[in-house]
Structure 1
Amino acid sequence: MGLRRRKIKARKNNEDPKQKEDNQQHESSMEDLPHDLSLDILLRLPVSSLIPVKLVCKSWYNFATSLHHEPHNHNNKNNPCLLVLSTPPHDQNHCIAEINVLYEIDNQDSYGVISKSIKQPMNRNILNVNTTLSCNGLLCLICLKNKFSYRVCIFNPLTEEYKYLPDMPSVSQTVTRLRHCKYIDNEDYLYQHFGFGFNPRTNEYKVVRIAGIHNITHMVTLKKKKPFNWDFDPKNFKQKVDVFTLSRTGVWRSNIDMPFACPVESSGAVVNGAIHWLCSGRGQFKESCIVVSFDLSDEKFRVIPNPPDCEMGQGCELLVLGGCFAITDYYARQIDIWVMQEHGVKGSWTKEIVIIENLPRVSLRSPQWIHPLCLLSSGKIVISYKRGALYCFDPEETEWLNIFIKRGLHPLDQFMAVSYTPSLVSPFLH
């Protein structure tokens, strides 16, 4: 046997060098495929199938992980999913690892179908999730760490990778509660608003926090059913902006000025590499709201022109529909959805959807309970109501369909829902 092995080895060593060179030239690998062909192959695959594709070769790994930084975004812009983060109905101080469950809802015409549950990254040091932001398959979870501070977690539900960001700079040590002390007499009021977006020019993800302290001289509670009045005196108003660039060496930067007052509670809508907030001028904010964008490239604030004949009051909400910036306007038991076809151009505003009140068990008298989430490829729009129900509205037929969400055999009492596009983008970006 040993002699036979030596003969075979000698035969291989005596192989014609020219024939050996020809055999090597005929050998090919995945890395030899043209870039356009490889990209076309990967774009035809479901995003969940790209996880094992990353193991084929180095070039396919780079293609798969960078696919969602490109404009086509794996053809998922027109077919978003929904992520639903349930919240505990009784004790809001329970840790998320035991109470909250993330569900992913497929964007199909079969409403009420839960595709799968997703493992969460939360630990026992986190009390609850206050805000959920989404961008290119990454979730930015703003978690309540304790009564005085928040913790930011970047999470990819598909790959289950997550990363906790360093603690944010302290805003004030005198405020005893965050976002829970909305009506205080003769004390400082602190608010924090967050945004999470992608800068296509530099391929960077950024988390932005707007934090302000306002000395309130006159505020009345909603229990008295009086107008909610703000007095924006520049002497009593302080505000700052913190930015974190997602990278291994990322740090919070706090040297950015915010020239607008931003007390309106809304999550930042991300369009065209900019985060948008609904801000206020002087006086009563329900009469003087403006839209302000924060460009993630040059980190400067700009004013976006308002839609025509839109009051831009407290009932307005900013969102993204079909990849375009949009504003919902609530008035007279009706919802108008304005879409800006060309970002930043005033003349590109069009009224796309008008929703008249015919939704079962929903009253448009409380517009803050109604939140449009995403536009389906069929033209229907998904709307959450009161953090306890999901509906699908058909503008052509003016029909409402109830989306039932269940955890096991029991319906979810309360939840947060965000539009979500699955991807392989890693929170650990260089």
Structure 2
Amino acid sequence: MLTKNLPEDIILVIFSRLPVKSLLRFRSVCKLWYALITDPDFVQMHLSRSLATNTNLILILKRYPKFLYVDLNVCKQEAAVELNCPFKSPIGYRILASCHGLLCMFDDDGVVSDFRKEEVYDTFLWNPSTRTHKKLPFTLVEFPINSYYAHVTAYGFGYDPTTDDYKVIRVLQFYPPDGFFDDTKYIVSEVKEVPLPHFVDDKFHMTIGVLGGQLSILCNFSEVCVELWVMKDYGVKDSWEKQFSIEQPSVLGYFDECIRPICYSKKGEVLLETGPGVEKCSGALVLYDPHKGRASNLTPHDSRHIVSIGSLISLDAKDGAE
């Protein structure tokens, strides 16, 4: 057996390079492996490596009322696995954000609609990899005087390293009974100029994003091509590198301002989100292979999605158990 021939620290290094799905199976091999894989220090070690190497990425799709799971190491439409959502609601749930493999979910109506003082909306954390979840305690909203209802204008979910905990934030706007609101406040933040790469032709539409943890820009030269650039060293102009160019209309047809890079697959393909104006694959997720210059649809039209990371973090309750 592996544990008899190798030191424990070497075993942990090997385990840290394995996907979550394999590690979850290996817990049942023996008591020692179970203890190693479930140890909080190893859980953090595995997560840190996944974040540093941009590996173990997963795609969560919502095709009402179902949730589907796609391993981006495999990245095939037929590889999608249906998830059993542990939460039941007549209006359904919406995934708002992901952090360290945990999905933050609200009642769907609690995000898109107004709510009044007496109404309560549930908030859950869910790790679809470990099939565990946690219902968060309801925080009573203190309404200002003369305010009757509120609207969620923004939300956030993330990890706070100072407290070693996760935080959910909702930004509310309050309204009086007549529906008018005039207490407007502005947030001013510092803006830093970032140099762009040198282009032969400066007539293009630019979309800014993050790809593989690096600043990216997608330059759409209308009806000619689309170029993807990433900044390898943030703030350094000479560190811009062109990743690929998609010729129009041969690959995706004609389009304008309608695609966005999301992440890389393990095979080096780029997952692209297409808008309604893309001729050949409108409103779908597309895998583009920059080496072969080919694109294939990963999802059908109008599927909600979020990219997450597979992690071993376990929450309070197992899916299917109260």
TM-score, structure 2 as length reference: 0.67
In 2, the alpha carbon distance for the partners of 1:175 and 1:362 equals 46
Q: CA deviation at 1:157?
A: 0.5
In 2, the alpha carbon distance for the partners of 1:361 and 1:339 equals 21
Verify: 1:140 aligned to 2:128, yes or no.
Answer: no
Match of residue 286, structure 2, among 375, 387, 391: 391
Verify: 1:65 aligned to 2:77, yes or no.
Answer: no
- C-alpha contact (below 8 Å) 1:155/1:163 kept by paired residues: yes
Verify: 1:238 aligned to 2:185, yes or no.
Answer: yes
Contiguous gaps of at least 5 residues in structure 1: 1-29, 88-98, 179-189, 215-234, 240-257, 261-301, 406-411
Deviates more, 1:134-143 or 1:326-335: 326-335
Verify: 1:341 aligned to 2:270, yes or no.
Answer: no
Q: Deviations 1:285-330 (Å, cap 9, x if unpaired)?
A: xxxxxxxxxxxxxxxxx6454352799x9973533x2232434455
Distance 1:111-1:48 versus aligned 2 partners, 3 A rule: closer
Which residue does 2:295 correspond to in 1?
400
Q: CA deviation at 1:236?
A: 6.0
In 1, the alpha carbon distance for the partners of 2:53 and 2:301 equals 30
Distance 1:83-1:352 versus aligned 2 partners, 3 A rule: same
Secondary structure of residue in 2 paired with 1:113: helix
Which residue does 1:376 correspond to in 2?
265
Which residue does 1:358 correspond to in 2?
249
Distance 1:342-1:209 versus aligned 2 partners, 3 A rule: farther
User: Which structure has the greater CA radius of gyration?
Assistant: 1
Q: CA deviation at 1:65?
A: 2.9
Verify: 1:124 aligned to 2:12, yes or no.
Answer: no
Distance 1:413-1:175 versus aligned 2 partners, 3 A rule: farther
TM-score, structure 1 as length reference: 0.53
- C-alpha contact (below 8 Å) 1:394/1:400 kept by paired residues: yes
In 1, the alpha carbon distance for the partners of 2:188 and 2:10 equals 48
Match of residue 136, structure 2, among 165, 172, 176: 165
In 2, the alpha carbon distance for the partners of 1:35 and 1:74 equals 23
In 1, the alpha carbon distance for the partners of 2:287 and 2:129 equals 25
In 2, the alpha carbon distance for the partners of 1:156 and 1:82 equals 13
Percent identical among aligned pairs is: 24
Which residue does 2:167 correspond to in 1?
206
Pairing of 1:16-415 with structure 2 (within 5 A): 36-51=9-24, 53-54=26-27, 56-57=31-32, 58-62=35-39, 63-70=41-48, 72-73=49-50, 77-87=54-64, 99=65, 101-108=66-73, 111-124=76-89, 126-129=91-94, 131-146=95-110, 147-149=113-115, 151-167=122-138, 169=141, 173=147, 178=151, 191-192=153-154, 194-199=155-160, 203-210=164-171, 237-238=184-185, 258-260=187-189, 303=191, 305-308=193-196, 316-319=207-210, 321-330=211-220, 332-333=222-223, 335-343=226-234, 345-347=235-237, 348-358=239-249, 363-365=254-256, 367=258, 370-386=259-275, 388-403=283-298, 405=299, 414-415=302-303
The 4+ residue runs of structure 1 with deviation greater than 6 A are: none
In 1, the alpha carbon distance for the partners of 2:142 and 2:207 equals 30
Higher relative contact order (CA 8 A, sep 6+): 2
Q: Deviations 1:94-135 (Å, cap 9, x if unpaired)?
A: xxxxx2x12122335673222421111322155441x54222
Q: CA deviation at 1:208?
A: 4.1
Q: CA deviation at 1:38?
A: 3.4
Distance 1:327-1:361 versus aligned 2 partners, 3 A rule: closer
Contiguous gaps of at least 5 residues in structure 2: 116-120, 176-181, 276-281, 318-322
- C-alpha contact (below 8 Å) 1:136/1:420 kept by paired residues: yes
- C-alpha contact (below 8 Å) 1:213/1:237 kept by paired residues: no
Secondary structure of residue in 2 paired with 1:238: coil
In 2, the alpha carbon distance for the partners of 1:337 and 1:209 equals 34
Q: CA deviation at 1:382?
A: 1.1
In 1, the alpha carbon distance for the partners of 2:173 and 2:188 equals 12
In 1, the alpha carbon distance for the partners of 2:172 and 2:221 equals 30
In 1, the alpha carbon distance for the partners of 2:169 and 2:216 equals 20
Distance 1:152-1:335 versus aligned 2 partners, 3 A rule: farther
Distance 1:41-1:124 versus aligned 2 partners, 3 A rule: same
In 1, the alpha carbon distance for the partners of 2:291 and 2:309 equals 26
- C-alpha contact (below 8 Å) 2:261/2:272 kept by paired residues: yes
Distance 1:136-1:213 versus aligned 2 partners, 3 A rule: same
Between the two proteins, the alignment pairs up a number of residues equal to: 283
Distance 1:124-1:413 versus aligned 2 partners, 3 A rule: same
- C-alpha contact (below 8 Å) 1:85/1:416 kept by paired residues: yes
